[in-house]
Structure 1
Amino acid sequence: MPLLAISGLGAESSQLHVQGLYWLACDTAEDATVLCRQVVEGLPGCTRASLIADAQAMGDVLGALDAVQGPDALALYEANPQAMLRLVDDLPRIDVPGRVLIVLAPADVWDGGKVEGWCNALRTVLMAEAALMLVISGGQCAGVVERLRAFNQGVDGLAQVYRGKGGVRYLQHFWSNALGKVGTRDIKLVRLDAGFAVAASPQAPTDTGGDELLCLAQRPVLEGAPAFSEHWQVCESLDELTDKAGRAVSATVIFAMEGGQRLDTLARQLHHLRQLRGNALKLVVREMAPTLRYQDEQLLLACGATQIVPFGASLSRFLTLVESIQGYVWRRHLPTDFDALLARLRPLAICGLVAPGAFAEAVQTMWHGVRNGEIVHQLLVLRPAPGLTPLQACSRTVFRRDGDIACVVGDVLFLFLFACRSEGVEQALDHIFQLSWKELFISQEVLAGVDSLAAPAFLDDNVPQPPRIDAAAQLPARERPALAPRRVALAKWGAV
């Protein structure tokens, strides 16, 4: 289904009919180009899409277009302003039926002309051919917008991207799609690398959609029990659940996380629903097998999960937790780019003792999730006990997880633990060091940031080699008292 790929806008204001005519008026040509590229990248791969623009505008859009996003094929049609005005005559040459047509043009193309007649003629053809057209105009031309506002019966949706009120704003005049019709909205936008997004989480809607009592659940989460009331609907598959959730507004949607299930598939579904349906929807994940680690939970929460019910919670406890989130509105920021989010919350394929240069580069890359508040890592500085070098302390270490790495700088050991809470540091050290780390090191410092990794010592690309275990220096032997016999007196049992 075609969408305006503006994160946080909500389905009622971003979905489009499969046929009809929509208009987005942008104050600047640059904003029109960015929005056009964003819309193209947001189209499903199977979409039959065409871009109609002049040579300069088309080059600006295609020059920064992400090759792995958007439709598999995009037909290009170059048109000057006069050709734009006669577009209805050229539609038969474009193979219109079932196609999504994106028109990018300067707003002054329609200056002084009758935009109403142009839209009316095009919409008639589009409806007859089951095609969709989105016009994105660039440049200020208030007269065109005012005439389109009065001509709302000939346009399915009209919105503006303009500069005002201290930033970039999205002014929706009217919008209609399969979910109904919505009126005026004035929303603040923020410009991200991927395009425009709603600047802040929208306020809880006054209209809850009438489905706030509805619970949609995958069958496994009920543990064989029937639906608990008339408000519960049980779905047999993930696809059925996602389909029903795609039409909900503030219902509770409960997913089952079972052993062997791909985490990224569930995370993508959550991200899509949160992006599509907004913040009033309550998305719950129930862990049916002990599969989720800390970093997995953080991924699901960052993708829109309202609540994660851990494995081992009883059915009654599960129902209590679900009841506790009724009326809750999701308040976190939803990243627009799911793949970039997934990369931030996944470790690099590196572990063990590495060169200082590789250590600094890897840690700075994996630290992005910390900067965004999506995950917690630990960066430690460990100072060995007297008589031990850092390499000798590392002679009995086992690194099992990708992202857990160490390096030697001077007389200390730097250790990075990926996706590790502060309360989990000691347990992680117990797993890495086969000998007691509390005896191997005399001090342990937790660094709050990665600024220290910019020191010249971290330019070294030499990988150190720990000594052989049988040659490694052991901990200094403790003096033991000399053994000597001592007298022991035994008392007779029951003696007074």
Structure 2
Amino acid sequence: MEYPTLAFRKLPREHTALDQGCLYWLAIEQESDIRRLARQFLAALPSTQSTTLIAANGMLDAILEPIPSDKGPNRLRLFDIALDAAPLAVRHLLIELKRCIKTKGSLVLMVLPESAWSAIEDDEAASWLRQLSRWLHKSHCTLVVMNHGLSTIFDQDPVRMNAYMAGFATMQRQQGSITYQVQFWRNSLGVSAARTYQLEWHKQSFVGRELGLLDKSALHAPDHDQFLIQRSALQDIPSLSARWLVFEQAETLFNRALNAKAATVILAVNENRQVESLARMARRLRNACGSAIKIVVRELNACLRHRDQQLLLVSGANLIIPARTPGEHFLMLINSIQGQLWFRPASDDMEALMARLQPPQVRGLLQPSEFLATLDQVYETASGDISHQLVELQISSSLKPAQCLGQLSIRRFGDIATMIDGKLYLFLFACSAEGLEAALGNICKLPWTSLFSQRQLFQHPEQLPREIFAHSELPEDTAEADPVEHELDSPLEQPARTDLSPRRITLKLNESHDDVFGTA
């Protein structure tokens, strides 16, 4: 018998197949992943499958438009729910399903934001799920819920809630990969629990591979205690023993390391222009040598930004050692990663990886609609490689908007701002949560607390008042107040200057200091 599945490629059918009369729940962190998974799922359904799609916040078009006309069910019933009406629709879901689902063997896909479940109180969630699951079983109707957000209505008592569902899984972005965790899954092919997969989006579908126990035989390879190091990375540390092989050039070291099985490879970086070539080396080493090789990058000068660090880590590095780390601490850190296995995905598509980490070539003050479109573009292609900060700042009541903008200096590409109703919305590309205070200090010429009275952080653009953004414009008095200041990052871009040389001046004894230097 052919069962409908979630249509993941290279995942076992028993972990993705759906039985009639059951409820399957997927909690998905990122909205773009929900759209892709819903699209993939619908496109793979048989043409004869009676299917209903329920979505909120205008998601229907985003899901359906890319599906080819010859894919999926011949007939698809559509229900679009207004965002503010979603909690009420969820509360009365069973009543609505009884009213509109009359065909046995029907399949219903619900794509809703996390806020839609706010109408279900903790103490009534079990009763709500129990009644829903009984009706689904009686009607031979399969319900698949794709929830935008990892929090669910059954967080309080997962064991009890799981009794009313046939499957629960989560999908989230972590350090350059999409992690799909099957908490439990039940169908006619069997029962599964606690399975984890890594996914990649390839040719309009998610492709998975399981993260099981890796082969640890490489840990006992003959070179497991060998160190291949670039001489500049030693700095003031002498070669410690015959196990330490020192190479003058990174390229020579790289060619030697291609045959390693479990050795430690230590590369040096002294300027961020070297990062992309080092990332390519790390990725090739990781793909060629496997998970047991240890790749370390030692920073000789403080040159790595957040984006640079994440690019190296996602590309295959186990460890980045900051500049000015004392020699004894350097050796202690090297010792701490011995026996470590690298679990991140090792894709060959370096160009796609670097494109994800490249900031949009725009900065400064934008119209609200342009600001939102730029954010959507960034988050659409994000995969957890780097973190960004999205901040709402309430402008102090003592300042006019133009005065506030005059105290901002936005220099980096990817850092953008807009202003609506006395609030500044600021997006900082490749900025960690720990670095937000420092970033605000760099952007604001005065202390940011003197310019703004309140601060609120958003995890995703979907939390913004999108309708307001779509119909707002910058205040007129801010049209000429552009907070962009040009930044010259490369020495090659510095303007030419005339070198100064000392010139002898003879002073007469009767000249006073005031005559020479001017009076105070």
Where do 1:405-484 residues align within 5 Å?
A: 405-453=416-464, 455-459=466-470, 466=478
Cross-structure match for 1:401: 412
Cross-structure match for 2:399: 388
State the SS of the aligned residue for 1:311.
coil
Q: TM-score, normalised by structure 1?
A: 0.53
TM-aligned CA distance change 1:299 to 1:428, over 3 Å:
same
Where do 1:335-354 residues align within 5 Å?
A: 335-354=347-366
Cα offsets for 1:411-443 (capped at 9, x unmatched): 311111112222322221222122332122211
TM-aligned CA distance change 1:431 to 1:261, over 3 Å:
closer
Q: Decide whether the 8 Å contact of 1:351 with 1:403 is kept in 2.
A: yes
Deviation at 1:232, TM superposition (A): 1.0
Cα offsets for 1:265-295 (capped at 9, x unmatched): 1111111211222111100000011110122
TM-aligned CA distance change 1:429 to 1:325, over 3 Å:
same
Distance in 1 of aligned mates of 2:340 and 2:292:
7
State the SS of the aligned residue for 1:256.
strand
Cross-structure match for 1:328: 340
State the SS of the aligned residue for 1:292.
coil
TM-aligned CA distance change 1:420 to 1:307, over 3 Å:
same
Deviation at 1:252, TM superposition (A): 0.3
Cross-structure match for 2:324: 312
Cross-structure match for 2:369: 357
Cα offsets for 1:68-92 (capped at 9, x unmatched): xxxxxxxxxxxxxxxxxxxxxxxxx
State the SS of the aligned residue for 2:360.
coil
Deviation at 1:226, TM superposition (A): 4.4
Deviation at 1:196, TM superposition (A): 6.0
Task: Return the letter of the residue paired with 2:239.
Answer: A
Cross-structure match for 1:193: 202
Task: Return the letter of the residue paired with 1:409.
Answer: I
Q: Decide whether the 8 Å contact of 2:272 with 2:304 is kept in 1.
A: no
Deviation at 1:362, TM superposition (A): 1.5
Distance in 2 of aligned mates of 1:421 and 1:225:
32
Cross-structure match for 1:282: 294
Deviation at 1:397, TM superposition (A): 1.2
Deviation at 1:408, TM superposition (A): 1.1
TM-aligned CA distance change 1:402 to 1:261, over 3 Å:
closer
RMSD: 3.1
TM-aligned CA distance change 1:304 to 1:381, over 3 Å:
same
Number of residue pairs matched?
Answer: 288
Distance in 1 of aligned mates of 2:218 and 2:320:
26
Distance in 1 of aligned mates of 2:377 and 2:283:
23
State the SS of the aligned residue for 2:417.
strand
Deviation at 1:386, TM superposition (A): 2.0
Percent identity between matched residues is 34
Distance in 2 of aligned mates of 1:361 and 1:285:
36
Task: Return the letter of the residue paired with 1:193.
Answer: H
Q: Decide whether the 8 Å contact of 1:245 with 1:273 is kept in 2.
A: yes
Distance in 1 of aligned mates of 2:200 and 2:314:
20
- 1:376 maps to 2:418: no
Cα offsets for 1:376-400 (capped at 9, x unmatched): 1110111112243444321221111
TM-aligned CA distance change 1:378 to 1:260, over 3 Å:
closer
Q: Decide whether the 8 Å contact of 2:415 with 2:427 is kept in 1.
A: yes
Residue ranges of structure 2 left out of the alignment (5+ in a row): 1-9, 11-188, 191-196, 482-520
Distance in 2 of aligned mates of 1:279 and 1:262:
24
Match among 250, 265, 268 for residue 253 of structure 1: 265
TM-aligned CA distance change 1:455 to 1:296, over 3 Å:
same
Cross-structure match for 2:280: 268
